[in-house]
Amino acid sequence: MTPLRTLALAAGLAAPLLAHADWLVGVAGPFTGQYASAGDQIKKGAEAAAADINAKGGVLGQKIKLEYGDDACDPKQAVAVANALVNKKVQFVHGHWCSSSTIPASDIYNDADIVMATVSTNPQVTERGLKNLFRIMGRDDQQGSVIGQWIASKFKDKKVAVLDDKSAYGKGLADEIAKAMKAAGKEPVLRESITAGEKDYSGIVTRLKNAGVDVLAYGGYHTEVALLLRQSDQVGLPLVIVGGDTMTNSELVTAAGKFADRVYFTFTPDPRKNPQATPIVERFRAAKIEPEGYVLYAYAALQLFEQAVTQAGGVERAKLEPVLRKGKFDTAIGTLEFDEKGDLKKPAFAIYKWTGGRYDYAE
């Protein structure tokens, strides 16, 4: 073999390898605009994960390279960003952040056969039959079943009533709670609705008192919860209220005062408290970055990519999708498993409790 031919052969072999020398991972989110703080967290998490994975030698011997797309939480811009990322030939996407961006953008990734992992919580994200989409966070409507099951086990011997405010969110949540309670063998003693925006709920709280209710599962917003707490105190009923993520609003504490300490609610778990994440959290803190909010979710999305690609032996949709749907993945936000729709099998919601104006995990 002449040196020239050897060189030509080597070049010929090397060319395709050079073209795919890096895994191109798209990270899409609101890096500017109103929600830029969330975008910033995503960026920090993704960068740290890519650096950590590349330091260990990459995935299947190839390094990860990140490609950012800024949608500013605008559905129209999200479509443009998705097309741009597809043109840049990204092989995996983490994003978008806003449900209203994720929904239109995911159709474009689906057409381009790109697998994606998102943190958007609207049920519609996974209800449209897309198979390329995996959600690494809980859905809005999973809260109800989490609350219902928790009530059934925590308040076994107590009387529980279910109330809603007739809003789409509130009634949906309360219906799910009641369903999950019944499934767990706990029958609500009362199922009623109130009108949100009113001020006087003394009639309904007296009714709860008369029915001997100890715990109220409530679907609705924090204003009515504050009113229910204050008025139940006046009729001499120490009511405990369990609600959804709307109870994170600190207005609840100003309006309900110390009665707010009787409120439990579901919210996405704080991944910093996950034992699997401890070494990662420490590394972030050493680099003077607080891994709050979506930082660890972005980190986990890239860990998911790393593990799935390693198991599948490639990034093509036909290989990656079945692996993601069947496998178990240990990440910074816990062990992830997906169902047929691409939702998490174990909905990641934790029960929190207000205490003295701050909320933390309920015991």
Partner 1 sequence: MGYALQQLINGLTLGAMYGLIAIGYTMVYGIIGMINFAHGEIYMIGAFLSVLTYVLCTALGIGPTPLVLLAMLFVSVAFTALYGWAVERIAYRPLRGAPRLAPLISAIGMSIFLQNYVQLTQGARIKSVPPLWQGGVTLWSADDFRVTFGWAQLTVVVVTLIVMAGFAWMITRTSFGRQQRACEQDPKMAALLGIDVDRTISLTFILGAALAAVAGMMAVLQYGVIDFSIGFIAGIKAFTAAVLGGIGSIPGAMLGGLLIGLVEAFWSAYLSPEYKDVATFSILVLVLLFRPTGLLGKPDVEKV
Binding stretches for partner 1 (CB under 8 A)? 166, 192-195, 197-204, 206-207, 209-210, 212, 223, 226-227, 230-231, 233-236, 251, 254-259
Please report how close the Cβ of residue 74 comes to partner 1 at its closest, in angstroms. Answer: 24
Please report how close the Cβ of residue 360 comes to partner 1 at its closest, in angstroms. Answer: 21
- Reading phi first (left if > 0) and then psi (alpha if -120 to 50, else beta), residue 259 is in alpha
Angle at which helices 202-210 and 222-234 cross, to 10° = 60
Give the residue with the Cβ less far from partner 1, 181 or 256.
256
Give the residue with the Cβ less far from partner 1, 62 or 206.
206
Give the residue with the Cβ less far from partner 1, 80 or 190.
190
Backbone phi and psi for residue 34, each to the nearest 5 degrees, phi listed first = -60, -35
Tokens of 295: 């930082």
Give the residue with the Cβ less far from partner 1, 136 or 226.
226
Within 8 A by CB and 6+ apart from 6, the residues are: none
Q: Are 300 and 294 in contact (CB under 8 A)?
A: no
Of 131, 98, 127, 140, which Cα lies nearest the Cα of 113? 131
Please report how close the Cβ of residue 127 comes to partner 1 at its closest, in angstroms. Answer: 29
Please report how close the Cβ of residue 187 comes to partner 1 at its closest, in angstroms. Answer: 20
Please report how close the Cβ of residue 169 comes to partner 1 at its closest, in angstroms. Answer: 17
CA distance 299 to 280: 9
CA distance 84 to 79: 9
Q: Are 10 and 67 in contact (CB under 8 A)?
A: no
Give the residue with the Cβ less far from partner 1, 100 or 202.
202
Give the residue with the Cβ less far from partner 1, 249 or 276.
249
Q: Using CB atoms within 10 Å of the CB of residue 262, give its burial: 0 to 12 exposed, 13 to 18 middle, 19+ buried.
A: buried
Please report how close the Cβ of residue 97 comes to partner 1 at its closest, in angstroms. Answer: 25
